[in-house]
Amino acid sequence: MRLLTVFVTSLCVFLGTCSETPPLLEQIKDRGTLRVVTRYSPVTFYQGARGPAGAEYELARGLARELGVKLEMYATDSFIDVLPQVIQGKADFAAAALTVTENRKAQVQFSEPYKITNEHVIYKVGTTRPRKLDDLLTGTLEVLTGSSHVESLEKLRQDAPDLTWIENPDTEVEDLLYRVASGELDYTVADTLEFNVSRNYHPDIRIGMDLDNAHQIAWAFRKNEDRSLLEAANAYLEKIKANGGLARIDERYFGHAHRFDYVGTRSFLRDIERILPSYRFLFEEVAMTHEMDWRLLAAVSYQESHWNPQAVSPTGVRGMMMLTNNTAKQMKVADRLDPHQSILGGAKYLQRVKKKIPERIPEPDRTWLALAAYNVGWGHLEDARIIAEIQGLNPDSWRDVKECLPLLTQKQWYKRVKRGYARGWEPVRYVENIRSYLDILKWKTATSNPRRLGPLEPGDPGYGNNEMVITSP
């Protein structure tokens, strides 16, 4: 065998046909695709009505664009299969909201962290809140196999040797949170972001106690001497941290997740079952005619009237979409209390407002800005955008404009703009409420396929294009 190796090596030198394997980054650019493994969850990646979505998808797509290649992203059937895909070289890296742990660092190398999270024990409101480790001994605790939560529990068991839990390889954190909310399970463990997103769908879940704090979230790469892709990824992450790109992705998917109204969410979930079936066909019919998402119309209507066709405010606005008399006349609505006319008038008016939003502004910011204008008026929205420019912020970003709208209540600011004073905090609350309702509606109307989990953004860039190829591992 040694003689054969020497012969082959000599032959390569003589013929000049053998060369070193090029760096991974060069290989990726040559083949034209970046292959990324992930997992299905509301905080990572999911299939929306019009294509792929999710914070990890947006981040990975940005890196692919930076490298000048297409993104090929796929999800494994089980969370425990994510890292093996990287270790075996089947994926270039993993983008799956992975916590950096000592055990994982022995298997893979991590990028620079792009998020910090905490771990919490989750329980159902109305049951005994777990405040210390001993409280977990009286109920069933179930966690995701292979998750960082297992490592945290193993460390804690050194101080609480009687602590036990079940590890489930055939589930996701979202499923475990659902089981806690339904009373099927006493406790589970979830990261802060997972909890914040899921409690809008499961309003009965609560944080009982903190399990561990300040975990870093990062991408995972194969552990070898070739750091070319890792270094490119780190440079990209640093770039989007500095230019605000990372913050914009967080705002797009999670900007409203921290806001939670227990009573309002419970009422909305009940009304989806009790009231919405009577009017859903109207929302769908109008939305189809005007090429809109019917769930967005339904969310706006719920914010306006709680789907009450007879609703009347002290200021004289009426109906499902709470149209003013002047708006109704402009939209040729003869009877504001007629559900179909009201929904149709509201859809037409929202479209009219949206057409005023500069076309350069991408979705979903374009929709959020249009909703703000629908509520407070186009002029006041423009004033807030001017204030954003004055402050060196981005007037085309909902994340920045929503910080400036409340300034319209302050004399030092509303004196500097054309339309003057406005209760600028109202459109912010208005839009964020609609975003929450929209997320819940999309979750409730999704299929049972886990690929449909998560908050979907209307008209997200990338839907339906060829930048993404989904394959099986």
The structural domains of the chain, ordered by start, are 23-115+219-255+464-469 (3.40.190.10), 117-213 (3.40.190.10), 263-436 (1.10.530.10)
Sign of CA dihedral 322, 326, 327, 332: positive
Q: What count of other Cβ atoms lies within 10 Å of the Cβ of residue 17?
A: 8
Distances (CA, A) of 367 to 213, 371, 374, 429, 443: 36, 6, 10, 15, 19
Element (H, E) at 309: none
Q: What percent of the chain has pLDDT over 90?
A: 52
Residue 51: both structure tokens together: 């294509």
Residue written as token pair 């499961």: 202
pLDDT in tens, 59-78: 999 999 999 999 999 988 78
Confidence class for position 465, pLDDT limits 50, 70, 90: very low
For the chain, state the CA radius of gyration.
26
Nearest CA to 319 among 51, 140, 334? 334
* Residue 269 and residue 276 in contact, taking contact as beta carbons nearer than 8 Å: no
- Work out the end-to-end distance of the chain between its first and last CA atoms, rounded to an integer number of angstroms: 36
pLDDT in tens, 162-191: 999 999 987 788 778 888 988 989 999 999
Judge whether residue 14 has pLDDT over 70.
no
Task: Give the up-direction half-sphere exposure of residue 210: CA atoms within 13 A in the CB hemisphere.
Answer: 7
Confidence class for position 9, pLDDT limits 50, 70, 90: very low
State the Cα–Cα distance between residues 2 and 447, nearest whole angstrom.
60
Q: What percent of the chain has pLDDT over 70?
A: 86
Whole-number pLDDT of residue 257: 60
Strands 205-222 and 108-110: antiparallel
Is residue 380 classed exposed, middle or buried when 0-12, 13-18 and 19+ CB atoms within 10 A define those classes?
A: buried
Q: What count of other Cβ atoms lies within 10 Å of the Cβ of residue 291?
A: 7
154 is catalytic: no
Angle formed by the axes of helices 245-254 and 55-67, nearest 10°: 150
Nearest CA to 354 among 341, 366, 342? 366
Q: Which of 215-224, 333-342, 353-362, 448-457 has the lowest mean pLDDT?
A: 448-457
State the Cα–Cα distance between residues 139 and 158, nearest whole angstrom.
19
Peptide bond into 406 cis (omega under 30): no
Element (H, E) at 134: none
Whole-number pLDDT of residue 263: 63
Task: Give the up-direction half-sphere exposure of residue 127: CA atoms within 13 A in the CB hemisphere.
Answer: 23
Q: Which member of 119, 251, 304, 432 is catalytic?
A: 304
Whole-number pLDDT of residue 338: 95
pLDDT in tens, 392-430: 999 999 999 999 998 887 778 888 988 887 778 788 889
Q: Which of 117-126, 230-239, 254-263, 308-317 has the lowest mean pLDDT?
A: 254-263
* Mean pLDDT along residues 89-97: 95
β partners of residue 215: 117
Whole-number pLDDT of residue 390: 95
Element (H, E) at 124: strand 115-124
Question: Helix, strand, or coil here: 421?
Answer: coil
pLDDT in tens, 260-294: 566 677 888 889 999 999 999 999 999 999 989 99
State the Cα–Cα distance between residues 259 and 278, nearest whole angstrom.
29
